[in-house]
């Protein structure tokens, strides 16, 4: 296939599509840690926090570590070990157990046992260690409602590390976050909101920079977005999610044949185009059900369903629960059915 790949870093349409997805999953900076460690120290951050911690009540968390000063070593649940230095931005897209340390330490202490309530709501503190070289970290717990439409997150490795000083915009954001930290330490009003916005900006910047360095071959949503054929198809689907799409319509819009588009789309995203449309519609509907007051009929029509009944069947087929139960908060207290990647969402 020929064509010039799109780049999230410099293509407005691709960047808009990425922003569109992030808006739909409502990524928000919810809880933050202002941490000071002195060597030697060893910390185990769990996959789940116990109920007394605010992190335990967040849905679908990603973790950010901004190394403000000093350095340490981090090891992921998968065994990947990396050295971190001041200026590093560390993104853990999924809240899996990980540990970090500096110096010789006899044991890894459980992070929840060290966290203390800070001077502001939503901002907690940690001050721990053996009194040696200092490591300063800002940890952000970012919550999303990407409960089912997860091709973006599934495209990411378990850890992404960028150095803020390697790019003017990254350095500017890191510097701004450090200034916000000073406001947090001074218990300044509005600091939590400012820090939250900065963490959301960091997430987007990390995705942009990570995408720019992706190899040409592979799979996943970010590579699909850069693909000249599938990227165009994604833009069309996101621009008109309620349209009665067929693969033939989509192929015409991308200047491709039906078979070539379907094969390339499925190879990159693990789903045929029409299944992707269903997932995206349900994600949009889920956001409106939870955060708005529109009727089921209005939401159903706006995302492309001719009746509440058809919408209800599609919603339950994808999520495992009805739209009404989702609106009532059922998804907060019970596990949602994961996408069955080997089964079609669009009925025959």
CATH of the domain at 243: 1.10.10.60
**pLDDT tens figures, 70-125:** 999 999 999 999 999 998 889 998 778 899 999 987 789 999 899 898 877 778 89
Question: What is the rounded CA–CA span in Å between residue 49 and residue 59?
Answer: 12
16 lies in some domain: no
C-alpha 139, offset from chain centre:
15
> What's the pLDDT score for residue 9?
39
Pair of tokens at residue 249: 């319509």
Considering 42-46, 139-143, 147-151, 338-342, the range whose residues carry the highest mean pLDDT is: 42-46
Q: Report the SS3 class of residue 271.
A: coil
Range of the domain at 256: 227-333
> What's the pLDDT score for residue 304?
95
> What's the pLDDT score for residue 52?
64
Exposure b/e, 140-165, CB count within 10 A at least 16 = b = bbbbbbbbbbbbbbbbbeebebbbbe
- Please state at what angle helix 258-269 crosses helix 247-254, rounded to 10 degrees: 100
281 lies in some domain: yes
Residues 265, 206 share a domain = no
Residues 53, 106 share a domain = yes
Residues 121, 259 share a domain = no
Work out the mean pLDDT of the chain and round it to a whole number. 81
314 lies in some domain: yes
Residues 206, 231 share a domain = no
**Residue 51 pLDDT more than 50?**
yes
Instruction: Kindly tell me the number of DSSP H helices and DSSP E strands found in the chain.
Output: 13, 12
Q: What is the mean pLDDT of residues 229-242?
A: 93
Q: Report the SS3 class of residue 328.
A: coil
Angstrom distances, CA of residue 131 to CA of 38, 103, 127? 5, 11, 10
Question: What is the rounded CA–CA span in Å between residue 332 and residue 239?
Answer: 29
184 lies in some domain: yes
Stated pTM of the model:
0.77
Residue identified by tokens 């006899």 is: 106
Residues 190, 82 share a domain = yes
- For strands 116-120 and 160-163, give the pairing: unpaired
173 lies in some domain: yes
C-alpha 184, offset from chain centre:
24
Exposure b/e, 312-347, CB count within 10 A at least 16 = b = bebbbbbbbbebebbbeeebeeeebeebeeeeebee
**Residue 138 pLDDT more than 60?**
yes
Question: What is the rounded CA–CA span in Å between residue 312 and residue 300?
Answer: 8
Q: Provide the terminal-to-terminal Cα distance of the chain, rounded to the nearest Å.
A: 30
For residue 293, the tally of other CB atoms under 10 A from its CB is: 8
5 lies in some domain: no
Residues 44, 177 share a domain = yes
Contact 239, 265 (CB under 8 A): no
DSSP 8-state symbol, 131: S
- Total structural domains in the chain? 2
Tell me the torsion sign for CA atoms 84, 86, 91, 96: positive
- Return the higher-pLDDT residue of 62 and 298: 298
> What's the pLDDT score for residue 337?
40
> What's the pLDDT score for residue 340?
40
Pair of tokens at residue 308: 């509440």
- For residue 138, give the nearest of 80, 213, 68 by alpha carbon: 68
CATH number of the domain bearing residue 148: 2.60.120.280
The kind and range of the H/E element at 67 are strand 61-69
The kind and range of the H/E element at 269 are helix 258-269
**pLDDT tens figures, 179-199:** 777 777 777 777 777 777 777
**pLDDT tens figures, 250-273:** 999 999 999 999 999 999 998 899
DSSP 8-state symbol, 187: T
- Of 149, 180, 212, the last residue of a domain is 212
Percent of the chain past pLDDT 90, that is, above it, reads: 37
């Amino acid at each position: 296939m020929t064509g010039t790949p799109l780049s999230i870093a410099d293509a407005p349409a691709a960047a808009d599509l990425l922003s569109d997805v992030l808006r739909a999953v409502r990524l928000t900076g919810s809880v933050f840690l202002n941490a000071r460690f002195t060597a030697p120290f060893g910390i185990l951050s769990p996959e789940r926090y116990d109920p007394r911690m605010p992190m335990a009540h967040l849905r679908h968390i990603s973790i950010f570590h901004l190394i403000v000063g000093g350095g340490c070593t981090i090891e992921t649940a998968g065994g990947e070990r990396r050295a971190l230095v001041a200026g590093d931005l560390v993104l853990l897209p999924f809240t899996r157990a990980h540990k970090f340390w500096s110096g010789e330490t006899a044991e890894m202490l459980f992070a929840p046992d060290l966290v203390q309530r800070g001077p502001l709501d939503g901002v907690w503190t940690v001050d721990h260690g053996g009194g040696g070289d200092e490591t300063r970290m800002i940890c952000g717990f970012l919550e999303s409602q990407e409960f089912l439409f997860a091709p973006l997150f599934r495209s990411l490795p378990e850890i992404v590390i960028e150095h803020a000083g390697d790019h003017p915009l990254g350095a500017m954001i890191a510097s701004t976050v450090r200034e916000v930290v000073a406001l947090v330490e001074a218990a300044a009003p509005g600091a939590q909101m400012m820090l939250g916005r900065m963490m959301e900006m960091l997430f987007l910047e990390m995705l942009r920079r990570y995408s720019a360095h992706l190899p040409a071959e592979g799979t996943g949503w970010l590579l699909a977005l850069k693909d000249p054929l599938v990227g165009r198809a994604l833009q069309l689907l996101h621009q008109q999610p309620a349209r009665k799409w067929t693969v033939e319509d989509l192929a015409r819009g991308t200047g491709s044949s039906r078979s070539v588009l379907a094969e390339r789309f499925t190879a990159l995203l693990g789903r045929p185009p029409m299944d992707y449309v269903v997932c995206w519609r349900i994600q949009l509907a889920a956001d409106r059900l939870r955060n708005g007051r529109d009727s089921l009929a209005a939401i159903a029509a706006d995302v492309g369903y001719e009746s509440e009944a058809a919408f209800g069947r599609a919603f339950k087929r994808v999520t495992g629960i009805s739209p009404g139960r989702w609106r009532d908060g059922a998804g907060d207290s019970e596990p949602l059915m994961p996408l069955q990647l080997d089964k079609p969402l669009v009925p025959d």
